[in-house]
A and B are shown apart, each in its own frame.
Chain A
Amino acid sequence: MSLLINLGLGLLFGVGLVVSGMANPAKVQNFLDLFGTFDPSLAFVMGGAVLVSFIGFRLVQAREAPIFAPRFLLPTRTDIDARLVVGPALFGIGWGLGGFCPGPAFTALGLGAPGTLAFVPALLAGMWAARLMAERNAPA
């Protein structure tokens, strides 16, 4: 059941990425190119997604618990540490260089562009390195 639900949610998310144009790195990079070939589409993607989530999360959290899990698992931290600045800074540099963030990279994988096929293994390697480093610093 959980497998089917997650497959469906991944499909829905991925279809959203394709429909929005975000599986195309050129659109993302043009959003980031304010002084060149600026394309504001990404702001509309974020706007639509945040609007629906903002309303939907409130409706969902009025419930005692989710439907297929015993309780909600939500982030509780509120502190701003160095990792919260260093991580997004590195992420943002890579995002600008390649035009991919993690979701669109997976969604673009099947389209088979050589650049995507180079990006995704490196993405996973970077994720793994960060997890292993985090485990060493603070074993969970």
Chain B
Amino acid sequence: MVTDFTPVASFAGGVLIGLSAVLMLLLEGRIAGISGIASRLLPPYRDAGFGGRAAFVAGLVGAPFLVAAVSDGPIVQTVSSNFALMVVAGLLVGFGSVWGSGCTSGHGVCGLARRSIRSLVATGVFMAAGFLTVFLMRHVIGG
């Protein structure tokens, strides 16, 4: 399925994501890494940060409602309805992001901005795996 190339909106959205990460460091002194924040909503609990993490995730969940309230266009979305595929994808994303100490936000945005060699390796690996997976899925298996 073709999607529109949206350089301006995507760059602007990226700026907002970057602002959130910068403010997280300025205010709370922490990295805005979603896999770290979300995975620590689950036990065992090592610190007193549960409330803040839950509030951050609540903000993520609430965001489309805020956008819908201030804009008139619908939020366009195409999600696979293959349940088995989405469950396997979710397990892999959840396990892999925590096992590798970060996801697109922690490694891909914050880590690259900090010029972390670990994040550069992680981002290179998940990008490569993503490209390969979509290539196999759409052009080899899916044909």
Using a CB–CB distance below 8 Å, which chain A residues touch chain B? 2-27, 29-30, 32-37, 39-42, 44-54, 56-57, 59-61, 63, 65-75, 77-80, 83-103, 105-111, 113-116, 118-131, 133-135, 140
Closest residue of B by beta carbon distance from A85:
B125
Q: Is the CB of A89 within 8 A of B55?
A: no
Closest residue of A by beta carbon distance from B88:
A97
Q: Is the CB of A122 within 8 A of B91?
A: yes
Per-residue contact bits, chain B 106-134, to A (CB 8 Å; 1 contact, 0 not): 01111111101110011101111111111
Q: Is the CB of B16 within 8 A of A26?
A: no
Give 6 closest A-B pairs by Cβ, nearest first: A10-B59, A87-B100, A20-B13, A14-B63, A126-B94, A48-B14
Shortest B82–chain A CB gap in Å is 7
- Chain B contact residues: over half helix, strand or loop, or mixed? helix
Q: Is the CB of A131 within 8 A of B101?
A: no
Q: How many residues of B contact A (CB 8 A)?
A: 113
Q: Is the CB of B118 within 8 A of A75?
A: yes
| Contact A60 B122, CB 8 Å, known A92-B127, A105-B90 | no
Give the number of residue pairs across the A-B interface with Cβ within 8 Å.
509
Closest residue of A by beta carbon distance from B77:
A24
A7 proximity list for chain B (CB < 8 A): 55-56, 58-59, 62
Q: Is the CB of B80 within 8 A of A87?
A: no
14 additional A-B pairs beyond A42-B10, A45-B17, A83-B101, beta carbons within 8 Å, are A5-B55, A16-B16, A17-B13, A33-B138, A45-B11, A48-B13, A49-B21, A87-B98, A91-B95, A95-B126, A96-B129, A98-B93, A113-B81, A128-B42
| Contact A60 B25, CB 8 Å, known A98-B85, A130-B39 | yes
Closest residue of A by beta carbon distance from B105:
A103
Q: Is the CB of B113 within 8 A of A101?
A: no
Closest residue of A by beta carbon distance from B15:
A48
Closest residue of A by beta carbon distance from B13:
A20
Q: List 23 A-B contacts (CB under 8 A).
A: A8-B59, A9-B24, A13-B32, A14-B61, A17-B13, A19-B9, A26-B79, A50-B109, A53-B18, A87-B99, A91-B99, A91-B103, A92-B125, A96-B132, A97-B92, A101-B104, A101-B105, A115-B86, A118-B86, A122-B91, A123-B93, A124-B38, A131-B44
B78 proximity list for chain A (CB < 8 A): 24-26
Q: Is the CB of B63 within 8 A of A17?
A: yes
Using a CB–CB distance below 8 Å, which chain B residues touch chain A? 1-7, 9-32, 34-35, 38-42, 44, 46, 51-53, 55-67, 75-83, 85-101, 103-105, 107-114, 116-118, 121-123, 125-135, 137-139
| Contact A84 B101, CB 8 Å, known A22-B13, A37-B1, A94-B89 | yes
